[in-house]
Structure 1
Amino acid sequence: MDRARWQQALTLLSICLALAFALAAVGSSHWCEGTRRMTKPLCQDPLGGLNCIHFSRASGSGDRQRDDSQAVQYIWETGDDKFIQRRFHAGLWLSCEENLNSTGEQCRSFLSIIPAEEQGILWLSIGAEVLDVFLILASAILMGSRVTFHSSRCNWLKVDASVALLMVLAGLLGMVAHMMYTTIFQITVNLGPEDWRPQTWDYGWSYCFAWGSFTLCMAVSVMTTSRYTAAHVKCPEKQRVQTDSGNPPYNVSRPEASQCAWQVGATPSTAGHDLVNISGHPPPGATGKMSVC
């Protein structure tokens, strides 16, 4: 495999990796991860539990019936013991948090959590992410055809130029979409519903995949543009060499003045006319044919 073919295969691999990163980021819900502080629920079983509040009821004395509405609950947990930390993760589509018994997760739409005035920005972010995926997919198809039908012709340069343009557009769209989502999440942390606001949070692996896809897009665009520029400079020279080799020039030397005139037939010379008049007029008494350059 020559160097050009190797560079094209490496470019195709980078585009496929960027596409995989973008798809994983868009489809997952681990853009942001953290913990949420919530109050423990009351114990529902007589033995109690670690994730609930233990309490006791005041019992009636004598034969009087106990009025549950007047009963007093004595809660033993105070301070930080009344709260529990629950892990959560959120993405473009869902926000999920673990159950109290840690046997699963309960999820809800992230669109229903953010403030109403920010929902339009979230849709713009989602649209930019989806368009980013389609642009990378189109670049992968074009570069795949470039590698499959390998040729050194100059008409393939248009494919390299198209791939460079599509990848830089995909990278810019992805960058804008990531920044919009980050802004929306930070606003939701401050202004979101009380039963969702996290206590601590950080970016997850999906967010890293999204920015990794952006980095690959820009790197592929730079590599393809550099290869296109180098090939665009060499292509006219190559075409000129091929044209010159197909039509070799004829090196015809101009005849000397002494050879411009030659005698075709027999031309007897008379005395005193040893030199032939090359002006086009034969000397007097000369017969025969004569050619003059």
Structure 2
Amino acid sequence: MGAYFHLIRLASVLFVATIALSCTAFVTSHWTVGLHRHTKEQAASNDTTKAPKEVAYYTTFHSGYWQQCKQIEEFSKAENCTLILVMIPDGERTEMFMSIGLEMLSILLLMLGTVFNMAACCRPETSPKVTAITAVLAVLAGLTGMLSRMMFITIFRFSIEIGPDDQKPYSWTYGWSFMVAWGGFLCCMVTAISVLHAYTIAVLEKQERWAIEQWLQQSAPLVRPDPPPPVSIPHTPAITPASRTPVKRVDWNRVPENMIMGYPFCQQTAI
């Protein structure tokens, strides 16, 4: 069970890392970052008769599941943040709610998987069943998280295409929140693989123990020592008054004196 417990401990660490990465990406607003192009009129410094020319300048923006923040002015750190649900088209709000719900479900499944994984580590007797449930939760968490992020990116692209021209970004790319989210997805998949490997080890060890127990039960009559032979106790006939041998009395008068000289009792009896 050494390899099994090592994999379970590794899965616990990966579960915690996945939850931390997923929550960080979910609450931050740097999934997409880009530039908005603006124009302003700039008058000629010397010739006042010439029409002012337009000069382009750029401001940054970043958006996430909850809000989109835009830079107010060029070279300024001040930002104007707006709820993302207000900015997306009305027809896409249902999909946006589904995306947020799937991301929350993914984090909830990860938390449940962490609890079941710790239970498998604390109670080895139920390890195969609990480990199987943990693996299923890890896979479901990864799939729901992936689906949520794909829906969010699709909604963002669609909002850019059908949105007004003044809100369309000049250029955009994926931000660090997007990278953190997919890093959490990779950790989640590695967690699922580790738990599945631990489940395989637990099942194989359980089958091996069962096979050994069956072999011992089948081979037990063959290796059992032979019982000792029965001890035969000879039959002693009962002694009855008729079978008793009469005791002969000694006539001390007929015994020579030299044989009874050392026995005072016998001498007295003889006298």
d(CA) in 2 for partners of 1:164 and 1:146? 11
2:100 maps to what in 1? 126
d(CA) in 1 for partners of 2:217 and 2:124? 18
Counterpart of 2:120 in structure 1: which amino acid?
Answer: R
The answer to whether the 8 Å contact 1:113/1:193 transfers is no
Deviations 1:7-33 (A, max 9, x none): 222111111111111101110111101
2:148 maps to what in 1? 177
Q: How does 1:1-293 map to 2 (within 5 A)?
A: 2-40=2-40, 53-55=41-43, 76-78=52-54, 81=55, 83-100=56-73, 102-147=76-121, 149=122, 151-153=123-125, 155-239=126-210, 241=212, 249-250=220-221, 251=224
d(CA) in 2 for partners of 1:112 and 1:4? 50
Alignment TM-score, normalising by the size of structure 1:
0.69
User: How many angstroms does 1:195 deviate by?
Assistant: 3.0
The answer to whether the 8 Å contact 2:99/2:148 transfers is yes
The answer to whether the 8 Å contact 2:35/2:169 transfers is yes
d(CA) in 2 for partners of 1:204 and 1:187? 18
d(CA) in 2 for partners of 1:158 and 1:3? 17
**Cα gap change, 1:37/1:247 in structure 2, threshold over 3 Å: closer, same or farther?**
same
Q: Which structure has more helix as a fraction of its residues?
A: 2
d(CA) in 2 for partners of 1:103 and 1:201? 19
**Cα gap change, 1:209/1:174 in structure 2, threshold over 3 Å: closer, same or farther?**
same
- Structure 2, unaligned runs of 5 or more: 236-271
User: How many angstroms does 1:39 deviate by?
Assistant: 2.9
**SS at 1:233 equivalent:** helix
**Cα gap change, 1:92/1:201 in structure 2, threshold over 3 Å: closer, same or farther?**
same
**Cα gap change, 1:5/1:87 in structure 2, threshold over 3 Å: closer, same or farther?**
same
**Cα gap change, 1:265/1:103 in structure 2, threshold over 3 Å: closer, same or farther?**
closer
The answer to whether the 8 Å contact 2:4/2:202 transfers is no
2:263 maps to what in 1? none
Number of equivalences: 229
d(CA) in 2 for partners of 1:104 and 1:242? 73
d(CA) in 2 for partners of 1:29 and 1:103? 16
Deviations 1:82-117 (A, max 9, x none): x22010001111000112151321100111111111
Q: Please give the root-mean-square deviation of Cα atoms over the aligned residues, in Å.
A: 3.3
Counterpart of 1:98 in structure 2: which amino acid?
Answer: Q
d(CA) in 2 for partners of 1:89 and 1:74? 38
d(CA) in 1 for partners of 2:90 and 2:50? 40
